[in-house]
Amino acid sequence: MIELSEIRREAGVTQAEMATRLRTTQGSVSQLERRGDVLLSTLSEYLTALEAQARITVTIGERTFEHVLTEERR
């Protein structure tokens, strides 16, 4: 499980600041961070708001598939 609140705190961002970045309420951020399961699109939006970079790597046998969740900011 990904601890979203830990990632946010490591980035030095409060729930209130995160709410502003996501154009939502602090309560909604709190609920999101306590969920056991989030959509990849939600995770991507959350991490992008933190200016984080993330990708998913799946390996099956000798094949590896990679999906970029957040685009690098330039």
Task: Please check whether residue 74 lies inside any domain of the structure.
Answer: no
Domain count, the chain: 1
What CATH number corresponds to the domain at position 45?
Answer: 1.10.260.40
Using the predicted structure, report yes or no on whether residue 35 has a pLDDT greater than 70. Answer: yes
Task: Say what the pTM is.
Answer: 0.87
Any residues with CB less than 8 A from the CB of 11 and at least 6 apart, and which? 50, 51, 52
What's the pLDDT score for residue 73? 63
Average pLDDT over residues 2-18: 97
Q: Which residues is 63 bridged to in the sheet? A: 60
pLDDT at 9 (0 to 100): 97
Please indicate, yes or no, if residue 41 is contained in any of the structural domains: yes
- 36 or 7: which carries more pLDDT confidence? 7
For the four alpha carbons of 45, 48, 54 and 57, in that order, the dihedral sign comes to positive
Please report whether residue 10 resides in a domain: yes
In the predicted structure, residue 74 carries a pLDDT above the cut 80: no
List of E strands, the chain:
55-60, 63-68
Instruction: Inform me whether the pLDDT recorded for 2 exceeds 70.
Output: yes
Q: Which domain holds residue 42?
A: 4-68
Confirm if 52 and 24 have CB atoms less than 8 A apart: no
| Structural domain contains residue 32 | yes
